[in-house]
Amino acid sequence: MDRTAAIESFLGEYGLTELQISTILKLFESYLADNSIAKKDGVFEVCPKCGMVHPVIVKGGKAGSGKQMYRCTHCGRRFTEDHGTIMHYSHQGDDAWKVLMMDTINGVSLKKTSAKLSLSIGTVFSMRHRFLCSLEKHADNMKVSGNVQLDETFVSGSHKSRHIEGKALKDDGKTLKKRGVSKEKVCLATMADDNGNAFARSYNAGQLTSKEALNLASHMAGSCSMTTDGTSVYDQLASATGSFHRKTEDRKDSKAEVNLNRINSFHSVIKSYYRNYRGVASKYINRYASMFAYVWNVNKVVKEGERYEHALSTVRKDGISLTGDEIRDYRLYAPADLIYRTA
Query: pLDDT per residue over 206-225, tens digit each?
Result: 889 999 999 999 999 988 99
Per-range mean pLDDT, top range of 52-56, 168-172, 235-239, 271-275: 235-239
Contact (Cβ atoms closer than 8 angstroms) between residue 216 and residue 193: no
> In this predicted model, which residue has the larger pLDDT, 317 or 40?
317
CA distance 264 to 274: 15
pLDDT at residue 238, rounded to an integer = 94
Examine the pLDDT at 166 and tell me if it is beyond 50: yes
> What's the pLDDT band for 254 if we cut at 50, 70, 90?
low
Give the closest residue to 144 by CA, choosing from 213, 197, 189, 190: 197
Q: What DSSP state is assigned to residue 144?
A: B
pLDDT at residue 39, rounded to an integer = 43
pLDDT at residue 4, rounded to an integer = 67
Burial of 299 (0-12, 13-18, 19+ CB in 10 A): middle
CA distance 335 to 316: 25
pLDDT at residue 167, rounded to an integer = 54
pLDDT at residue 263, rounded to an integer = 93
pLDDT at residue 210, rounded to an integer = 94
CA distance 142 to 221: 9
Residue type, 190: T
Examine the pLDDT at 317 and tell me if it is beyond 80: no
CA distance 341 to 242: 34
> What's the pLDDT band for 256 if we cut at 50, 70, 90?
low
- What is the largest distance, in Å, between two alpha-carbon atoms of the chain? 87
Examine the pLDDT at 83 and tell me if it is beyond 70: no
CA distance 302 to 94: 21
CA distance 156 to 184: 7
User: For 145, how many CA atoms within 13 A lie in the half-sphere containing its CB?
Assistant: 6
Element (H, E) at 240: helix 235-241
pLDDT at residue 224, rounded to an integer = 92
Percentage of residues in the chain with pLDDT exceeding 90?
Answer: 24
Examine the pLDDT at 52 and tell me if it is beyond 80: no
pLDDT at residue 112, rounded to an integer = 92
State pTM to two decimals.
0.70
Examine the pLDDT at 268 and tell me if it is beyond 60: yes
Percentage of residues in the chain with pLDDT exceeding 70?
Answer: 72
pLDDT at residue 341, rounded to an integer = 53
pLDDT at residue 327, rounded to an integer = 78
Examine the pLDDT at 55 and tell me if it is beyond 50: yes
Give the closest residue to 83 by CA, choosing from 45, 133, 31: 45
- Rg, Å, the chain Cα set: 25
Compute the average pLDDT of residues 312-316. Answer: 71
